[in-house]
Structure 1
Amino acid sequence: MDEKTAELRDIFIDTTGSDTVTESQEEARGSLTETGGQTDVRVAEIVGTMREKYTFVSGLDDDDLHTVVERFYEDESDADIATAVGVDEDTVFDARMDLHLVRETDRDAPVDLDELRRLLVEETSIEERAAALGTDETVVSHYSEIVEADLESTRANDRFRDEFEELFTDSALTNRMASDAREDGLREATEDLETDVSF
């Protein structure tokens, strides 16, 4: 083993924590939950706790809700998530609201959300909300779900949102950092390496 090869091997071990190439290759890639069973278990626990505490309207089972959470943190659209789960976009939207997974774009509303929040807290009917906001009941119903999800989350001190975010953003960051470290280390080691291959 020449000096460059030894240096490359040392960097590989430092960055991967292993001297076995096949071990790294066998690890699944692409899905955040495949970083280990602990994430899967914790997501199931969080979903179970939320199901006990709140009334879920989406009708999805826990496995499908797990998929919704995972793909939400992979920045997939409701349309893409719907295709993956095999349901329509409205069901995915309901599932996200069940799980307090509100996007910033969800809050881009044609109505005053602060006023809608006040009306919801006062337990007004959907007809009264629509009249007060000067819009139709379909719009009010849609944005009421968003406001209710935010209200539920706030009352829970954003506990469930924070736990999901911690699980999935940490997993994503770990995967990205490990990948970057391997690429940087291997690139540095091979920059000046001359390959002499004879066929």
Structure 2
Amino acid sequence: MSTKTDELRELFLKLSPVTTFTDRQEAGVGDVPTDEEVDDTLRTLVAEMRERFGLGTPLDDDDLVALVRGFYAGESDATLADRFDVAVETLVDARLSLQLFRPDDADAPFDLRDLLRLVEADADDATCAAELGVSEAVIRRYRRVVAARQTAQRESYYYPLEFESLLDADTDDELSAAREADRELFAEIKD
């Protein structure tokens, strides 16, 4: 108890003929939520994302909540894919749909700014592949990354920030750097 509480208790004991009392405490601002409360809030956020963005994934909302938890716990895509018994590519698509990014998502064999310019010019996969000297499969992969990052940026990274806050995730430096790189990348394309 705090010093003020102790002082008030002593004063009460001096002034009252009652020598015992029960101190009722209510949950206040800043209390740590339970795991169930966190999961409920994560489920609400995931459902909201599904409604807003049409998360095209075979994983249900409970799986997506577990994916968010696993991502912030540092689990790899392969580990998470094994847990949900899906292909790694399916897991990565779900992760990107949730606007959860890993540093290697941007490790393209070409400059992502070039892909972004082509995408904004409405170039199809074949044109992008020819221009950038890679396969269409590689273009599809990085097109998903660019689209997810654009959506996250448009939303001011609302959902990843909410996830981090709920899970008390310690990824501020890495994600802040990624967000700043995204801002620079997209600002450069728009200019």
Q: TM-score range by the shorter chain?
A: 0.5 to 0.7
Is this contact kept in 1: 2:108–2:142, CA < 8 A?
yes
Higher relative contact order (CA 8 A, sep 6+): 1
Match of 1:166 in 2: 165
Partners of 2:170 and 2:36 lie apart in 1 by 12
For residues 168 and 98 of structure 1, the distance between their equivalents in structure 2, rounded to whole angstroms, comes to 19
Kindly state the Cα deviation for residue 105 of structure 1 after the two structures are TM-superposed: 1.4
**Structure 1: 5+ residue stretches without partners:** 1-33, 173-199
Residue 108 of structure 2 aligns to a residue whose secondary structure is coil
**2:39 match:** 40
1:95 partnered with 2:94: yes
Q: Contact 1:35–1:171 at 8 Å: present in 2 too?
A: no
Report deviation, 1:35: 4.1
Distance 2:45 2:85 in 1: 23
Give the conservation status (yes or no) of the 8 Å contact 2:97–2:148.
yes
Provide Cα deviations, 1:43-94, integer angstroms capped at 9, x if missing partner: 0111111111113222211011111111000111111101111212111101
CA-CA distance at 1:171 after TM superposition = 9.4
Pair 1:37–1:171, CA change in 2 (3 A): farther
In structure 2, stretches of 5+ residues that fail to align are 1-32, 172-191
Rate the CA distance shift 1:171–1:151 in 2: closer, same or farther, 3 A.
Answer: closer
Moved over 4 A (4+): none
> Does structure 1 retain, via aligned residues, the 8 Å contact 2:72–2:169?
no
Q: Distance in 1 between matches of 2:127 and 2:169?
A: 43
3-state SS of the aligned residue for 1:165?
Answer: helix
The one-letter code of the counterpart of 1:102 is: F
Whether contact under 8 Å (1:106, 1:146) holds in the other structure is yes
How far apart are the structure 2 equivalents of 1:159 and 1:116? Answer: 25
Q: In 1, are the aligned partners of 2:99 and 2:159 still within 8 Å (CA)?
A: yes
Correspondence for 2:60: 61
Residues 110-149 of structure 1 correspond to what in structure 2 (within 5 A)?
110-149=109-148
**Cα offsets for 1:111-135 (capped at 9, x unmatched):** 1111111222222211111122121
Partner of 1:5: none
CA contact (8 A) 1:67 1:85 kept: no
* Residue pair 2:42, 2:163 contacting (<8 A) in 1 also: yes
Other structure's SS at 1:153 match: helix
Letter in 2 for 1:106: D
SS at match of 2:168: helix
Secondary structure in structure 2 of the residue aligned to 1:60:
coil
* C-alpha separation in 1, matches of 2:156 and 2:113: 19
TM (norm. structure 1) is: 0.65
Structure 1 vs Structure 2 CA RMSD: 1.9
Matched-pair contact (CA < 8 Å) for 1:73–1:169:
no
Q: How many matched pairs? A: 139
